[in-house]
Amino acid sequence: MSSFSSSLSRPSCRSSPTSSLYFSNHSSLINGDPRRSLSFLSASPQEEICLRSQRKSVQSSVVLQDVVVVTNSEPAEKLKDGLLSVQSQEADKLVAELGGGQQESTVSITVVGASGDLAKKKIFPALFALYYEGCLPQHFTIYGYARSKMTDGELRDMVSKTLTCRIDKRANCGEKMEEFLKRCFYHTGQYDSQEHFVALDKKLKEHEGGRLSNRLFYLSIPPNIFVDAVKCASSSASSLSGWTRVIVEKPFGRDSKTSAALTNSLKHYLEEDQIFRIDHYLGKELVENLSVLRFSNLIFEPLWSRQYIQNVQFIFSEDFGTEGRGGYFDHYGIIRDIMQNHLLQILALFAMETPVSLDAEDIRNEKVKVLRSMRPIQLEDVVMGQYKSTTKGGVTYPGYTDDKTVPKDSLTPTFAAAALFIDNARWDGVPFLMKAGKALHTRSAEIRVQFKHVPGNLYNRNSGTNLDRTTNELVIRVQPDEGIYLKINNKVPGLGMRLDQSHLNLLYSTRYSKEIPDAYERLLLDAIEGERRLFIRSDELDAAWALFTPLLEEIEEKKMIPEFYPYGSRGPVGAHYLAAKHNVQWGDL
Ligand SMILES: NC(=O)C1=CN([C@@H]2O[C@H](COP(=O)(O)OP(=O)(O)OC[C@H]3O[C@@H](n4cnc5c(N)ncnc54)[C@H](OP(=O)(O)O)[C@@H]3O)[C@@H](O)[C@H]2O)C=CC1
Ligand SMILES: O=C1O[C@H](COP(=O)(O)O)[C@@H](O)[C@H](O)[C@H]1O
List pLDDT tens digits, range 121-155: 999 999 999 999 999 999 999 999 999 999 999 99
Residue 280 among the catalytic residues = no
What would the mean pLDDT of 465-479 be, rounded to a whole number? 86
Catalytic residue among 26, 187, 196, 342: 342
Percent of the chain with pLDDT over 90: 75
CA 280 to ligand 2 centroid distance, Å: 8
Q: How far is Cα 261 from Cα 512, in angstroms, rounded to an integer?
A: 45
CA 504 to ligand 1 centroid distance, Å: 43
What is the torsion angle, in degrees rounded to the nearest 10, for the CA atoms of residue 533, residue 169, residue 480 and residue 123? -50
- Domain 105-249: give its CATH superfamily: NAD(P)-binding Rossmann-like Domain (3.40.50.720)
Residue 514 binned pLDDT confidence (cut-offs 50, 70, 90) = confident
Pocket test for ligand 1, best of 220, 266, 330, 518 (most atoms within 8 A of CB): 220
Question: What pLDDT sits at residue 551?
Answer: 98
CA 267 to ligand 1 centroid distance, Å: 22
pLDDT digits (tens, 9 = 90+) for 198-244: 999 999 999 999 999 999 999 999 999 999 999 999 999 999 999 99
Q: How far is Cα 547 from Cα 543, in angstroms, rounded to an integer?
A: 7
Atom of ligand 2 nearest to the CA of 325: 14
Q: Atom 2 (ligand 1): residue with closest C-alpha?
A: 118
Instruction: Give residues with Cβ within 8 angstroms of 296, minimum separation 6.
Output: none
Residue 10 binned pLDDT confidence (cut-offs 50, 70, 90) = low
Segment of 11-20, 74-83, 158-167, 465-474 carrying the highest mean pLDDT? 158-167
DSSP summary character for residue 569 = B
User: Is residue 381 over pLDDT 50?
Assistant: yes
Q: Looking at the CA of 478, name the nearest ligand.
A: 2
Q: How far is Cα 107 from Cα 207, in angstroms, rounded to an integer?
A: 10
User: Is residue 64 over pLDDT 50?
Assistant: no
CA 316 to ligand 2 centroid distance, Å: 10
Q: Looking at the CA of 321, name the nearest ligand.
A: 2
User: Is residue 389 over pLDDT 70?
Assistant: yes
- Assign a CATH topology to domain 282-458+537-581: Dihydrodipicolinate Reductase; domain 2 (3.30.360)
Q: How far is Cα 5 from Cα 528, in angstroms, rounded to an integer?
A: 21
Q: Atom 9 (ligand 2): residue with closest C-alpha?
A: 318
Phi-psi region of 429 (alpha: psi -120 to 50; beta: other; left: phi over 0): left
User: Is residue 185 over pLDDT 50?
Assistant: yes
What would the mean pLDDT of 537-562 be, rounded to a whole number? 97
What is the residue extent of each domain of the chain?
1-102, 105-249, 282-458+537-581
Q: Which of 409, 389, 378, 323 is nearest to 564 (CA)?
A: 389
Atom of ligand 1 nearest to the CA of 328: 45
What would the mean pLDDT of 428-442 be, rounded to a whole number? 98
User: Is residue 14 over pLDDT 70?
Assistant: no
User: Is residue 31 over pLDDT 80?
Assistant: no
Q: Looking at the CA of 519, name the nearest ligand.
A: 2
